[in-house]
Structure 1
Amino acid sequence: MYKILIIEDNPDIVANIYAFFEQKGFELDNAHNGYSGLALAANNRYDVILLDVMLPGMDGIKLCKELRENLHDKTPVLMLTARDTVLDKVAGFDSGADDYVVKPFSLVELEARIKALIRRYQDEHFQHSIEIGALTLNAAEHSIKRENTLVKLTPTGFKILQTLMSASPRVVSKTELEEKVWGQDIPSSDALRTHLHSIRAQVDKPFAKPMIMTIPGVGYQIIDPEH
């Protein structure tokens, strides 16, 4: 499940984004001015920020610079604006924005751009060594251990577990997990379930507490059972 922060003062645009994305399983927060938007961004974790340029209090350019330069926040930022000049786009990118759409925009295009930004961010920050509780994964060595016991998985199982661990504690939807592991060439509907069964047999079954959680109707999650 992706979490989006909308910083936009036009209530009609906010309502349209909510209506489109909530039905697709996205979780949304919104702020109507720059200062409250900055506070939400600083105190919560989001997968992407939709940021209007013309905002009350603090404009989107200043807000984005504050995020990047002072808060060192690397969350992907997609600028929303009515301005369409080259100079306006350059100003947005110079402030640290990752992408730019001009109003009025297609919600289908907005979704595609959001997903592309999130995929790019995840690929750039896909960790080589991950530790969640007693479970560790080392991508360079292609090794997995739980409580210092070596866990042996197939290459596909390894990638599924790596995806879940990289996203933890976020819940990863079935669709997102399949796209991350297989791209556009997704196999039969039972393939992911079969792989997860095998992964659980190695990662969870020999130990006292499970770490791989199924969230019905939402997706899958890796947790530290000791916290």
Structure 2
Amino acid sequence: MRVLIVEDNQDLAANLTDYLELKNCITDWAGNGRQALNLTEHATYDVIVLDIMMPVLNGLDVCRKLREQHRQTPILFLTARDTLDDKIEGFAVGGDDYLVKPFAMEELYLRLDALCKRRPRQQADCLQVADLIMDLTSQEVTRAGKPLKLNRSCLKLLQHLMQHSPEVVSREDLSQTLWGNDAPDQDVLRSHLYHLRTAIDKPFDTQLLHTVYGVGFRLSDTPPKS
């Protein structure tokens, strides 16, 4: 489980990092909302732990902006704001869970684990990005109603990219999806991505598979920011 911790209290952030890493989580830390948005542009997270009262950009605005960008990463608000109105506001902007400080670390982990198991948010039997559709039951893929032929590796890559769209997925993450810890040379992954791009983009006017240089790849009908 890869977790983004957005918390301006460095001591608390360090404690969260230490605990979650003991649970075999991979963690990144942002000390304010602007840093958090920058990190989500360049990495894929399974869940975000988000404080509300922060400098530069508060947690409610961060959540609102992520949802406006159609980013569906589960978000757990971790905050001292404890009134019912506070919780209602948190859920209203797109939060998935709400935990009040002080809290038990074990409860936090259990909630994060539960949020991750709910993904993807799209329909269980179908994924869609723009006019590209994947039927998870039959493994059939169409774009603009036209059937596409993909080998097993390309299907795995496409499913992973669609589940995280429009977020950026790193090369390492894609490699892990195909081969686990026994990844071959990077040229093999490059070849699979070439065949995937040829199948889903070459016959069509709008490009969906975008390279984010030095970071990874994203599937979206909106090109990445330059």
Of 110, 116, 139, 2:136 maps to 139
Q: Deviations over 1:171-202 (max 9, x none)?
A: 799xxxxxxxxxxxxxxxxxxxxxxxxxxxxx
Unaligned runs of 5+ in 1: 131-136, 152-161, 174-210, 217-222
Give structure 2 stretches of 5+ with no counterpart. 129-133, 142-148, 162-168, 183-188, 194-226
Would the alpha carbon gap of residues 214 and 63 (structure 1) be closer, same or farther in structure 2, given more than 3 Å must change?
Answer: closer
Question: Counterpart in 1 of 2:72?
Answer: 74
1:55-204 matches, within 5 Å, as 55-69=54-68, 71-122=69-120, 124=122, 126=124, 128=126, 138-141=135-138, 166-167=159-160, 170=173
Q: Secondary structure at the match of 2:24?
A: coil
Identity %: 36
Q: 1:125 to 1:172 in 2, by over 3 A?
A: farther
Deviation (angstroms), 1:24:
2.2
Q: Which has the higher contact order (CA 8 A, sep 6+)?
A: 2
Where 2:54 maps in the other structure, the secondary structure is coil
- Please give the alpha-carbon distance, in whole angstroms, between the structure 2 residues aligned to 1:125 and 1:48: 19
TM-score, with length taken from structure 1: 0.61
- Structure 2 length-normalised TM: 0.61
Supply the distance in 1 between the matched residues of 2:42 and 2:150 (Cα, whole angstroms): 35
Matched, 1:226 2:223: no
State the Cα distance separating 1:53 from its structure 2 match: 0.4
Cα deviation for residue 122 of structure 1 reads: 2.7
User: Secondary structure in 1 aligned to 2:106?
Assistant: helix
Paired with 1:54 and 1:61, the residues of 2 have a C-alpha distance of 9
Counterpart position of 1:213: 179
Contact 1:127 1:166 in 2 (8 A): no
User: Contact 2:6/2:33 (CA < 8 Å) preserved in 1?
Assistant: yes
CA gap of 1:139–1:63, structure 2 versus 1, over 3 A, is closer
Instruction: Tell me how far 1:31 sits from its aligned partner.
Output: 0.7
Rounded to whole Å, the distance in 2 between the matches of 1:54 and 1:126 is 35
Distance 2:107 2:12 in 1: 15
- Counterpart AA for 1:109: E
**Closer, same or farther: CA 50–141 of 1 in aligned 2, 3 Å:** same
Larger radius of gyration: 1
| Distance (whole Å) between structure 2 residues aligned to residue 109 and residue 139 of structure 1 | 33
Structure 2 contact 125–137 (Cα < 8 Å) conserved: no
Q: Which residue of structure 2 lines up, in the alignment, with residue 40 of structure 1? A: 39
Structure 1 counterpart of 2:12: 13
